[in-house]
Structure 1
Amino acid sequence: MSAQDDHEDLAPSSTPGYKPAGPAKSTDEYAKMDAEDESLARWKASLGIVPGATGGNASGPKVTVLTLELVSPSMPPGKRLHLNLQDQAQLQEFKKNPVTIKEGVEYNVRITFKVNHSIISGVRYIQVVKRAGVRVDKMEQMLGSYGPHPKGEPYTKNFDTEESPSGMIARSGTYNVRSRVVDDDGEVYADWEWCFKLGKEW
């Protein structure tokens, strides 16, 4: 697979008729827009769009993706497939040593992320799975639109349920995953790689 193929695999789907909204506004600017509309003000407050929400600090990345987790009702108590994306050693470990996912079970991908400043919109999670260099699956799920949390707390997003493949052929080999969090304008907030294999048990 070429770098061009990787770029196309990880590009967000285009939305017909969508046009970028122009230069991004700060949270304060959004908070002050239509300030006389009470219902709109309440809705914006629910997104963390309130004057001074960023404390005036608009430097650094707009979004920090904190963790990726696989969650399944079939997973034994105490078992966790949890990747801390701020831990470089753990990232390397997940890239080199595949985690085991039980075959033929339902599971969800869950991520936590923090919005540092500004408003994010059209943000999505893209996951491309390859085996022996050939793409076998692509998942693209919307996160939605968010503002900085008033208390600085992270957001959690559970994506739609997936089902792991099953069978002897599916269990042979390693699956390489490239994950990316990107918005409609192509701004990449996080990009990482990890591996898994399928087994009869977790």
Structure 2
Amino acid sequence: MTISAIAIWPAVSRPSTKNRIDSEPMVISSLRVEFIAKLHRVVVKSLYHMRTNRQSFSPRRFSDDPNPDDPLIGARLRYCLAQVEQRLGQALASAGFGDIQVAHFKVLRFPPPENERPIDLAQRAGMSKQAMNYLLLQLEELGYVERGAMGGSPARLVSLTERGWKVAEIQRATVHQIEREWERQIGAQRFQTFYAVLKELTDG
């Protein structure tokens, strides 16, 4: 319930003077107590959710896990990625590329597409060829990618246009900036260790 609803609740709930009955004080008091109790439960539940980052209040929650509220590494990496993507979107919009959407990062990502088959881009992004072709069509119409035949092959290969390379350069510069910010936040040595571990895990 919103603050405005809380503010007007007594006014909209009170009967008119003409229709009051002897039991009105008791009825209004009972309603107010019930309302306050419900409001208290909502507030407490919201604060608990904020404190624990829980996604569900179901009693069936990883009973064998000693710390069921821990999002674990996959979710934490996803949180980092979400921060990066948000910053990329802001940087691109500020540079005049506001038509780029987060979904387009499935194509506009490292390594940038250069004479790539759509099926290869789809596999790299973990999506169907049809879904990838839909994104490619959008980006082609916006002027960020182009498709053309190479070496007499009938397959149309995907590459960035000059406009697409400008986007890639902004993305890379923005990620470098984020890395510097994170390094200042946690300290140079810890960040270097963090980056080295990530590199070891992702390089196989």
Query: In which range does the TM-score fall when normalised by the shorter chain?
Result: under 0.3
- Greater strand fraction, Structure 1 or Structure 2: 1
Which structure has the greater CA radius of gyration?
A: 2
Q: TM-score, normalised by structure 2?
A: 0.22
Q: TM-score, normalised by structure 1?
A: 0.22
Bigger relative contact order (CA 8 A; separation at least 6): 1
- Greater helix fraction, Structure 1 or Structure 2: 2
